[in-house]
Structure 1
Amino acid sequence: MTTTLSINTLTCEYKINPIGLDIKKPRISWKMQSNRRGTIQTAYRIQVTENDQDFTNMLWDTGEIHSDESIHIEYKGPELTSQTRYYYRVKVWDNFGDESEWSEIVWWETGIFNDEEWKAKWITPHPDEIDPLSEPAFLLRKEFKLKAPIRSARIYGTGVGLYELFINGDRVGTDLFSPGWTSYHKRLQYQTYDITGQLGEGNNAMGIMLADGWYKGNLSWENKRHIYGDRRAAYFQIHVKYEDGTEEIIPTDATWTASTGPILFSEIYQGEIYDARLEKEGWNKPGFNDKDWHETTVQDMPITHLVAQENWTTQVTEIIKPINTFVTPLGDTVLDMGQNMVGRVRFQVEAPKGTTIILKHAEVLDNEGNIYFGNLRKAHQEVKYIAKGEGIETFAPHFTFQGFRYVKVEGYPEQEKGLISENFVGEVIHSAMEPTGHFECSDPLINRLQQNIVWGQRGNFLDVPTDCPQRDERLGWTGDAQVFIQTALFNYHGGPFFTKWLRDLKAEQYPDGGVPFVIPTVVEGANAAAWSDAATIIPWEIYKIYGDKRLLSEQYESMKAWVEYMRRQGPDEYLWVVTFNFGDWLALDAPSGSYSGSTPKDFIATAFYAYSTRLLRDAAEVLQKEEDVEEYNSLLEKIIEQFNYEFVSPSGRLVSPTQTAHVLALIFDLVEGKVKERTAVELNELILQNDYHLTTGFVGTPYLCLALSKCGYHETAVKLLMQEGYPSWLYSVKKGATTIWEHWDGIKEDGSFWSDEMNSFNHYAYGAIGDWMYRVVAGLDLDNTAPAYKRIQIEPKFAGISLTYAKAIYDSMYGRIISSWCLTNEDIEIEVEIPANTTATVILPSTCLKNVRESGTSLNTTVGIHHSYEKEGNVILNVGSGCYSFKYPNEGRFSITFTEESRLVDILEYKEAKHILDQYAPGITNPPGIFAMKMKTLKELANFPEANLSTNTVNTLIEELNKIEWNLTPAH
């Protein structure tokens, strides 16, 4: 065999060729490729230089380091300098004695390390000439002359609120909503742009547009303004390096001039008004006559700390064309984008001067087919464009975004003839995270659900993890973020995204350890169970998925402060009895008039107190804080002991008979032994008694199916997932949803809506089911003893006729992982891919060693399998990297229908269904595969008047089927 060992996907601080880093000891990661199974790195070598081609004068050369580490290798060379590009390359050796070639040469570039390097001043239009509280966006400009040919040029800087930059008339970069939303008084991101290709010797010009944004614009339902400040301002400097080695800095200062322009109004919630007649042609180019422009002034700003860009920048990531244009019963002309999206509409128009075009954005139509704006509350989501009247004009708003599927169009000149939808496109906008995960299965509704989960994340991960993107809220709710974190990190690379957000959480945390409801903090309120626990849950999940020990260490004191806050509350340090809590938010078992479910709030609070304490203890172990490990392990034991005393009866029954109470007790390991067994049985019964429907809210839902599967009730969990009737995940899918809803019945069966007060149709929290889908159904998981999927666990849990196929793909820090399975009546096939430099435990359900073949050969001759054995009716394999194809006989262990669809009504013509029912009912004793169906389906069929089935016949058939063990349970 010709061995190919190579390195690819080199990253520095998670990013490929990052520019403007202010990290003085950046970390390097890479992925290995090998065509040999069982490849493990045994050594690596990193070289770093300031020369892009010549590695003869190295800044840092590790030499051959004997280690299997390939992620987060910290730079340990000489101290780095600001505004410098460093090139690096890597080579590795493996356990077969092979040595790779050097990787491609990649780089990182530093930003500004020291405050004294900033020459810029905060500038804003002089208040005597332009009212600083005026609504129009500001235009700032500066013309300058470069004395010689340039070697390189960068812009460093930031602004408050939002900015766009221009050099010589051209936009700088493609970022939107810069500098992003941080805890501005404590942390403000600055950006770095390479503008070498946009500048030239001689005259040049720079332009800046400034709008309110999050800094001083209207935020939250409380109509708060000027939360951080009441002055927009810019802070930039161009750094030019000439070919002759000299340098020059052009900063913002009082020599700049200012004006207003065509953006008359721009707010995140309300939209934008743009009057193209007021455009100042060439304002951002050299030679523009700005004699009528106004002075700028240097402004003192309440900014304490500038940090280089941490998050993925916000970008247009996809273009969507409308699928339809129609006129509603009320006479409105409406575009249908076909997808509930977040972003903006770009259109082109040729119209007389002064023509006003208005776009009004909404998520859904009402039951009469009219566009529905009620759930937007005080957010207008309206864009107004006034035409210049000079040929074809193209426009998209600059400093606002909308959450929408439908767009009401007013004033477009072609409307009278029928709107030309080809002139409109939707631009999808979010933080430009790298996609990392994919899930699919044999059921098209579940696949649509997965798409809805992904679209919900795209819509709400716009610089911060917002709860919803359309109404007057759009805030970084901690509870939503923590319940969705595992699913989020499967779908997209969330390292930079959550690094930035967690630093804001730490910055906003109160001196007593309390954690606000939303981050950044713009509304009152703090210290709610399952919300504020984001302080412990999210750092730990980032560590698990990416092995980011540095971030865990950075957040450790924040984690500890939150646990200590809970410890100090109330008369008993081992119970958290709070005066306020959200409880199981939006649970269906809530008392009338309440948003919180029936699960006692102190039950929920103490459960999360225990969970956060457990995570803190585990973090202390990772960080080798031995005293803390001992202390918080003891605290955890006492919390669990007190939880059982307070919330479990002497006979072992939970005091709260809710689904959520049982879920939390099980998933957080708060009960054990016979109490745990009883709790699991009772949880299963609660689901069965509710005809396979859930009653959980934001707290219980994320863990519901995980708890069931973990405790041996996977079949029940699958039936919950497959449930189509309200309430269920598929109810909204059947109603045409393309994102996740805030309420299980956002749109009711009759087409009416839940209350306008709180009815988002893009609210990702319930999308947390995705975590269970890929980890349990597809079986792609990590071994908790080794972070970042260094050790992988593949353990698919089959769902028989409900699902006959499932596949998960995840691009980890080490490389691509695949877990895929397919069931037929004859065989079970499992496909696995494990990346180089990792190992995996593969669990093949319900078989024995002698029956399993890998790529057609027996396991004892298979290369890459290090160890194999049988345990509890399963085959356990310890394998190395590579692609594996396992196959073994089904042997009747799982009953599979002749079709992949699980719902009888969907797959059979009525006559065929009636014929089979008539043939076997009521005396059925040995049904064929077609009767391996859900009881719910039979009940649905019985409601078809054409079936003409008596109630007795249907009930007898259901009785007989209930006696038969065909339900996806392994044969014993």
Structure 2
Amino acid sequence: MKRFISSTLFMFVCLLASYPMLATANSPLKVINMQVEYVTEPKGLDIERPRFSWVYALPNEDIRGLSQGAYRILVADSPEKLQAGVGNMWDTKWVESSAMNQIFYQGRTLIADRTYYWKVMVRDNNGKESLWSPVKEWSTGFFSDQQWKGQWIGTTHFFDKRSADCNVFDPWFRKTIVLNKKVGRAVFFLASIGYHELYVNGQRVGEEVLAPAVTDHTKRARYVAYDIAPLLRKGENAIAVWLGTSWSIFPGYDLPNGRPSTPLFSGQVDFFEQENPTDQEKPMFSLRSDKSWRWKNSPNRLLGNWNFGHMGGEIWDDSKAEENWNKISYDDSQWSNAIVYPLKLKISAQNIDGNILVDEIKPVSITEYGQGDYRVDMGVNFAGWTAINVFGNPGDTVRFFFSEREQDRMTFNLHSALVIGRSGMSTFKNRFNYSSGRWITIQGAKRKPVQEDITGWLVRTGYHTAATFESSDSLQNWIFNTTRWNFENLSLGGFVVDCPQRERMGYGGDAHATTEMGMLNYDLAAFYSKWMGDWRDVQGTEAMVGNMRDTSYARKAVTSGRFLHPGILPHTAPTYWGGGGPSWGGIVVSLPWFMYQQYGDVKVLQENFTLIKNWLNFLDTHVQDGLLQRFGGQWDFLGDWLWPNATAEGMNNDKEETLCLNNSYRVFNLRTAVKIARVLGESVLADAWEHQAQVASKAIHTRFFKQEGHVYADGSMANMATALLADIVPSEEKANVEAALEKEILTHRQGHIHAGITGGALLFKWLRESGRNDLIYTMTSKVTYPSWGYMKANQATSLWEMWEKDLPGHSLLHSSYLYPGAWMIDGLAGIKKSKPGYATFIIQPPKAQETNLSWVKASYDSPSGTIYSAWNREEDQLRMQVTVPPNTTCLLKIAKGESAMLEHVLATYRIHSDDINDTYRLPSGTYIF
């Protein structure tokens, strides 16, 4: 017995002694940032073969050269099975691969309305296996229209299109149900025309605001999945929906003899006894939207009519507030039965993170202007929500006017109101609309508010930030931070709007100024996938239809005497309105390619290839002798937009410069489409498009090139850069044209930019890709008109729509000039993609003579992990710190001369040398030299 105890003790001591060795036997690779279809734990996903992705944390700065040799994914229909190591839905076994994104699910068929759980283990390049990742989950929605059972229901109140302010109150709906058992699973799938909020037993479900994402309601509605099981009880339960009018009355979504102009919703939920029901398990009870639901007007109503320049605000009548309207105790016997409307809309999952409140904003000053009138300075121009406590007599109406300009009481008709309740103190807070501005005028309050009475929030789609940037130049830092501020204020509802106050339209032309900036600063793969779906929805509808109140004519085969080509595109999506030109619709070619380069996403190319073909085919119908001819109406063939002094010179014109730019852009589209076709193996189309690009390039050069000066058309930055970007310039003239563009910037414009939204974006793209940090830095360093520094010098807190200061009617929070935000990351920090998805990337700091910066530090959360680049120059010496995430390779490019100083450190990594740079291949790890 003693011998047994001694032996056992000896073995135990040996085990303890060996435990650290066992722990270090695992690979140091640690899986983080696990996503399904680019979203962390998405709910209600309607994709049958979703994609998995992850990246790695750098385990230790001293560990270098770590990579993934294989992975194993387990997927189960319960967390218990997964914890036990059973992947009953999918077990990939060991897959010899370095892939850590774009991994398609290939397991058993997924069931609608279920939750699935997954984890991943990897094997590194040394043959060591990692620990299992944390368990993550996602839930499914519906994979076919037949699975959707809810009816579209609404009220009897319709919007009067003649109204200055909406006449439809935001309605309440409710339904009482009885549950005989405790519920394990209940997911309410709620689609709406207009915004919605969901309540269960008086408690609001979820934190998402202004749901769902904006969608073309002539074709589609999107649903949000809400887990309501934790809020249910055995016995009676009250399910309630509050609808907001908003997009339900948008004129671009009018349908003749179809959907009425009133908010509607369709919803359904199955109640299961088990939290993880089996495939065959039937629900114990089901609830659908139908005529048995009851409705009543809420005390909330839209002010304005959701039209151009009349987005308005909200009025909340606190004297009619009913706190119990969504609870069991409430008596709804006097409410009306819902009206069923037979709509033919495709119902899809939202598939992106919903809108969230961020960046709480407090006033910097409150000034009394007159009796009952107070002026609030929020300190920053922003788009979002406000909450304002006011005091007055019961029944008094207090009004709020929002302005971008200190001298104006109200801009763009943005105003809200509040009727004081019985207590004499009431709170206005946005629910189904948002405002935009810096100053708020409060009219009719009986007491001056204090700072604690007023709070603002920026509202945006809930994507994650992916970049940091800081430099020795305060102006560059201001431009970086302000471009990001603008982007966040413009990206509400799953698309990027031109401005949040006047139009709220998703312009394709403006997208050129924001997409690469967006992708280099935020995690936007799901966001842009959704927006590309919007462009597919709107294709086939003639442009400019949105400017008509009766839009029914635009969806016929013949439109205003013109054939409605299936490839035609309106200039905005999903919103239809607005003017534009070829570079507006052409975003459907550019954006998928940008996404492929950024994320390594082949699926986005496949999904949008028909869209791309149709668009290029439409352009072909307007080509003669190799040149694109003007088409459409007055506002359908714009070139660049909002260059300096553009309003005085005239932007909507038939001048040679516009025809040149649009033809060059078409070639840029064609050459991009060639690359897409090559990736997809569509060699016949690739060859055909390549031939078209060559023919068009020769025609453009013959028509628009001027040998004297070596310029195209008017010699503008936009035309010169687009011709170079589209590879139109013959090789023997390329150096001359580049020199002419440089002269235009440095001499003719004295270092200032002279381009607008689309032209400026194309200019910066060519300069970034050509490594002309010097020219970009010159333009971004100016503080006189026209420049970003001029805006800063004029106390701007957001970037303006125009280069000019305070022109009447233009927005001070706009998408126009955000393109420097991409250059800060891939130019000044030098973080550039080499292969799609950043499995191999470049770090290339600017040459010493290209900027006046003494230091830069930045990070980018790439699809392959966090990249860090920091450099500083002191006494003619370059110092750098570089972090290369595991499973990636960095190509470090250092200018000749500076690289010589690093030779003793980096000699073993050098792989290439030329007259300009030395290139070093760095495996994963942190390097300081």
**TM-score tier (shorter):** 0.7 to 0.9
Aligned match of 1:643: 700
Aligned counterpart in structure 2 of residue 618 of structure 1, from 659, 662, 675: 675
Aligned counterpart in structure 2 of residue 312 of structure 1, from 350, 353, 356: 353
1:309-356 alpha-carbon deviations (Å, 9 max, x no partner): 123211212211112222469995211111111111112345442232
Aligned counterpart in structure 1 of residue 72 of structure 2, from 38, 41, 45: 45
Aligned match of 1:288: 330
* Equivalent residues in 2 for 1:542-561, closer than 5 Å: 542-561=595-614
Q: Which amino acid aligns with 1:828?
A: L
Matched position secondary structure for 1:762: coil
Query: For 1:681 and 1:57, how far apart are their aligned partners in 2?
Result: 62
Matched position secondary structure for 1:669: coil
Shift of 1:712: 6.9
Matched position secondary structure for 2:150: coil
Aligned match of 1:627: 684
Matched position secondary structure for 1:692: coil
Matched position secondary structure for 2:386: strand
Aligned pair 1:114/2:173, yes or no? no
Unmatched 5+ stretches in structure 2: 1-20, 541-564
* Equivalent residues in 2 for 1:475-874, closer than 5 Å: 475-510=505-540, 511-523=565-577, 528-578=581-631, 580-588=636-644, 590=646, 592-596=648-652, 600-649=657-706, 652-687=710-745, 688-708=747-767, 714-745=773-804, 747=805, 753-756=806-809, 759-783=810-834, 786-798=835-847, 802-847=852-897, 850-852=900-902, 858-860=905-907, 865=909, 867-874=910-917
Matched position secondary structure for 1:422: helix
1:591-635 alpha-carbon deviations (Å, 9 max, x no partner): 845135876111111111111111111111111112222222222
Matched position secondary structure for 1:32: strand
Query: For 1:70 and 1:470, how far apart are their aligned partners in 2?
Result: 37
Aligned match of 2:544: none
1:56-79 alpha-carbon deviations (Å, 9 max, x no partner): 362211111111111010001111
Query: For 1:537 and 1:126, how far apart are their aligned partners in 2?
Result: 44
Query: For 1:328 and 1:531, how far apart are their aligned partners in 2?
Result: 45
Distance 1:672 1:99, change over 3 A: farther
Distance 1:410 1:524, change over 3 A: closer
Paired positions, count:
854
Aligned match of 2:468: 438
Query: For 2:818 and 2:410, how far apart are their aligned partners in 1?
Result: 24
Shift of 1:537: 0.7
Query: For 1:650 and 1:447, how far apart are their aligned partners in 2?
Result: 40
Shift of 1:576: 4.7
Aligned match of 2:562: none
Query: For 1:388 and 1:226, how far apart are their aligned partners in 2?
Result: 40
Shift of 1:134: 4.2
Shift of 1:391: 7.1
Aligned match of 1:457: 487
Distance 1:624 1:540, change over 3 A: same
Matched position secondary structure for 2:315: strand
Shift of 1:821: 1.5
Query: For 2:256 and 2:649, how far apart are their aligned partners in 1?
Result: 31
Aligned 8 A contact 1:211 1:266 in 2 = no
Matched position secondary structure for 2:338: strand
Aligned match of 2:379: 338
Shift of 1:443: 1.2
Aligned pair 1:256/2:321, yes or no? no
Query: For 1:143 and 1:569, how far apart are their aligned partners in 2?
Result: 59
Distance 1:414 1:227, change over 3 A: farther
Query: For 1:482 and 1:705, how far apart are their aligned partners in 2?
Result: 10
Distance 1:512 1:329, change over 3 A: same
Q: Which amino acid aligns with 1:585?
A: W
Aligned 8 A contact 1:578 1:602 in 2 = no
Moved more, 607-616 or 709-718: 709-718
Query: For 2:606 and 2:913, how far apart are their aligned partners in 1?
Result: 40
Query: For 1:551 and 1:320, how far apart are their aligned partners in 2?
Result: 37
Aligned pair 1:236/2:267, yes or no? yes
Aligned 8 A contact 2:168 2:301 in 1 = yes
Aligned pair 1:192/2:225, yes or no? yes
Aligned pair 1:96/2:135, yes or no? no
Q: Which amino acid aligns with 1:552?
A: L
* Equivalent residues in 2 for 1:58-97, closer than 5 Å: 58-97=88-127
Matched position secondary structure for 1:462: coil
1:690-712 alpha-carbon deviations (Å, 9 max, x no partner): 22122211222123345456557
Query: For 1:859 and 1:256, how far apart are their aligned partners in 2?
Result: 72
Distance 1:621 1:486, change over 3 A: same
Specify which structure has the bigger relative contact order, considering alpha-carbon pairs within 8 angstroms and separated by 6 or more residues. Answer: 2
* Equivalent residues in 2 for 1:378-389, closer than 5 Å: 380-389=413-422
Matched position secondary structure for 1:612: helix
Matched position secondary structure for 2:80: coil
Shift of 1:251: 1.5
Q: Which amino acid aligns with 2:466?
A: T
1:129-188 alpha-carbon deviations (Å, 9 max, x no partner): x99984211111111111111112110121222211111111111222222221112121
Query: For 2:488 and 2:208, how far apart are their aligned partners in 1?
Result: 16
Aligned 8 A contact 1:777 1:798 in 2 = no
Aligned 8 A contact 1:146 1:200 in 2 = yes
Query: For 1:226 and 1:320, how far apart are their aligned partners in 2?
Result: 45
Query: For 1:685 and 1:650, how far apart are their aligned partners in 2?
Result: 15
Distance 1:171 1:678, change over 3 A: same
Aligned match of 1:4: 28
Shift of 1:424: 0.5
Aligned 8 A contact 2:401 2:409 in 1 = no
Aligned match of 1:265: 302
Query: For 1:706 and 1:548, how far apart are their aligned partners in 2?
Result: 21
Query: For 1:465 and 1:681, how far apart are their aligned partners in 2?
Result: 38
Query: For 1:188 and 1:24, how far apart are their aligned partners in 2?
Result: 19
Distance 1:57 1:782, change over 3 A: closer
Moved more, 512-521 or 723-732: 512-521
Query: For 1:803 and 1:809, how far apart are their aligned partners in 2?
Result: 17
Query: For 1:397 and 1:82, how far apart are their aligned partners in 2?
Result: 34
Distance 1:125 1:704, change over 3 A: closer
Shift of 1:439: 2.1
Query: For 1:591 and 1:674, how far apart are their aligned partners in 2?
Result: 37
Shift of 1:729: 1.4
Distance 1:371 1:266, change over 3 A: closer
Aligned match of 1:364: 405
Shift of 1:713: 5.1
User: If the length of structure 2 is used for normalisation, what is the TM-score?
Assistant: 0.87
Query: For 2:882 and 2:681, how far apart are their aligned partners in 1?
Result: 35
1:519-553 alpha-carbon deviations (Å, 9 max, x no partner): 12443667x12111111011111111111211210
Distance 1:123 1:591, change over 3 A: closer
Q: Which amino acid aligns with 2:862?
A: S
Q: Cα RMSD (Å) of the superposition?
A: 2.8
Aligned 8 A contact 2:498 2:507 in 1 = no
